[in-house]
Structure 1
Amino acid sequence: MVFQGDDTVTDPTGIAAAAGRASKKGPPPVHLWDPPFCGDLDMEIRPDGSWFYNGTPIGRPEMVRLFASILKREGDAYFLVTPVEKVGIRVLDAPFLATDADIGAEIAFTTNVGDRVVAGPDHPIEMRGTADAPRPYVHIRRGLWALIDRKTFYRLADAAMPAESGRMEVHSGGTVFPLEI
C-alpha cells in the first residue's frame, strides 16, 4: 500500500481499494474474515482520534472512515483486514472518539468516523482510569471502543441523576450506567 501526499493510494489491489469496495455495500463482515497476517503497517490511531501513516496525518476523512470500516481487534491487537490480507496497526488508546451524543430517553453517540450507536446492553458506557482522572468509553462494535470526548462527557454528567447509592448515573436502552469510578 503506497500513499501519495494527497492520501491517494497507488496500489489499486491493496487494502485501501478492498475497503473502498466493501464500504459501498455497508459495513463489511470483518469478524468473519481470518486472512493470513501480512505484517505491520506504520499506521497509528492516536487518543484524539487522529490517524497517521508513516508519521503523517491522514487528512482525508473519507480515507479514515474507509480504514475504520475494516478495523478488527483480536485480543489487545488491532488489524486492518480484507478477505485476503491482514495488517497490524497501532492504537494508542481507543480506536474511535465519541464526539457527540443525543441525550434523551436514550443516549445516541456519534463517533469521529460516523458510527452511531445507542447506549444499552450491546453498547455499554464504561468508566476507566481513576476517580481523579476518569476516562469514559462507549462500546461501538466487536470489541472496538470510543473514548467519549470531554464536551460530550460533561453533557452526560449534566444529564446524570443521583442513584440511591449517591453515585451519578445515566439511563439508556433499559440499562443504568454509573458515571463515576
Structure 2
Amino acid sequence: MGELSQQIEQSVAAANHPTRQIPPLEKWQPKLSGTMDVVVKANGEWWHEGSQITRPLLIDLFAKVLWSEVDDNHHVQYFLKTPVEKWQIQVEDAPLLVNQVDVITKQFGDTSKPVLQFTTTQGDVVIADEQHPIRLGLPFTNATSDELLKQKQASQPYLLVRQNGDSALYGLIHRNVFYHLIKLGELVEGEEGTSLILHSGDSTFTLTMTA
C-alpha cells in the first residue's frame, strides 16, 4: 500500500495541474497487477484489509486514479490505475458519493440560467448536464454485489461524475441530497409512476419512480 501510494502520488503530480484534476488514466495501459484488499463501501467509506482508511488525503489520492471496465455481460469492475500498475478493488455500490448540491448561475451565451452543481465526498465538483446526467439506477451491474443490493440500486439516484475514455464513474446521490432535489424539482404523476423533473441549465432530467 505504501509503495502504491507513492507511485500514485508521483503519477498525479506528473500531470502538473494547478488545481485538483484527474490524471489522463485513459492513456495508461498497464497490465493487471492483481487484486488488492481495498473495498469502497456503499456509504462511501474506504477500507483496506478490514480497517477503515481515515486519512482524507489518501482517499483523495486513490479516488483520483479510479478506473472502471465493463464486460460484454454489463458487469463492471473497478481498479486503481497508474502508468505501470493496475490493481482490482471491490466497490459495493458506486465508487463515489455525492453529498452536496447547490444551485448556482451559469452563463449560456447571452443569458444566465440556474444549474445544479454537485460535490462528492472525494472533492469532485460537477454541474449536471448532458455529459453528467442524473439517472435512477446504473447502466451496469456489479458482479460482486448481492441480489438485494442490485434491486436497491435500480431505484437509487446516481450522477455520472467522470468519463475517462471508456471508464464511467458514477456517484451515488446521498439521501439528504436527493430530498433537497425533490424540493428543487417538480413532481409529476403519470401512468408509470411519480416522476421528478429536474432542470439544470439547458438540460432536463426525468426520474420516474415506479410503484
Q: TM-score, normalised by structure 2?
A: 0.74
User: Does 2:117 correspond to 1:108?
Assistant: yes
Letter in 2 for 1:114: G
Runs ≥4 residues deviating over 3 A: 162-166
Question: Contact 1:118–1:173 (CA<8 Å) still a contact in 2?
Answer: no
Match of 2:158 in 1: 137
Letter in 2 for 1:147: L
Which shows bigger deviation, 166-175 or 28-37? 166-175
Match of 1:4 in 2: none
Equivalent residues, number: 169
User: Does 2:128 correspond to 1:119?
Assistant: yes
Q: Counterpart of 1:167 in 2: which secondary structure?
A: strand
Match of 1:77 in 2: 77
Question: How far is the alpha carbon of 1:34 from its aligned partner?
Answer: 1.3
Q: Distance in 2 between matches of 1:179 and 1:33?
A: 35
Question: How far is the alpha carbon of 1:146 from its aligned partner?
Answer: 0.3
Letter in 2 for 1:144: L
The gaps in structure 2 that reach 5 residues or longer are 71-75, 105-113, 138-149
Q: 2:177 aligns with which of 131, 149, 152?
A: 152
Q: 2:6 aligns with which of 17, 27, 30?
A: 17
Q: Distance in 1 between matches of 2:189 and 2:34?
A: 51
Q: TM-score, normalised by structure 1?
A: 0.86
Letter in 2 for 1:169: I
Question: Percent same amino acid at aligned positions?
Answer: 36
Label 1:130 to 1:82 Cα distance change in 2 as closer, same or farther (>3 A). closer
Which shows bigger deviation, 72-81 or 157-166? 157-166
User: Does 2:195 correspond to 1:167?
Assistant: yes
Question: Contact 2:38–2:48 (CA<8 Å) still a contact in 1?
Answer: yes
Question: Contact 1:123–1:140 (CA<8 Å) still a contact in 2?
Answer: yes
Q: Distance in 2 between matches of 1:168 and 1:30?
A: 34
Match of 1:62 in 2: 57
Q: Distance in 2 between matches of 1:121 and 1:115?
A: 17
Q: Counterpart of 2:208 in 1: which secondary structure?
A: coil
RMSD of aligned C-alpha atoms? 2.0
- Residue-by-residue CA offset, 1:150-178 (whole Å, 9 max, x unaligned): 11100000111245957321111411112
Q: Distance in 2 between matches of 1:137 and 1:123?
A: 10
The gaps in structure 1 that reach 5 residues or longer are 2-8
Question: How far is the alpha carbon of 1:31 from its aligned partner?
Answer: 1.5
Match of 2:205 in 1: 177
Letter in 1 for 2:179: Y
- Residue-by-residue CA offset, 1:74-128 (whole Å, 9 max, x unaligned): 1111010100011100011000100001125100000010001000001000112
Q: Distance in 1 between matches of 2:84 and 2:208?
A: 43
Q: Distance in 1 between matches of 2:195 and 2:87?
A: 43
Question: How far is the alpha carbon of 1:23 from its aligned partner?
Answer: 3.0
Question: Contact 1:103–1:156 (CA<8 Å) still a contact in 2?
Answer: no
Match of 2:40 in 1: 45
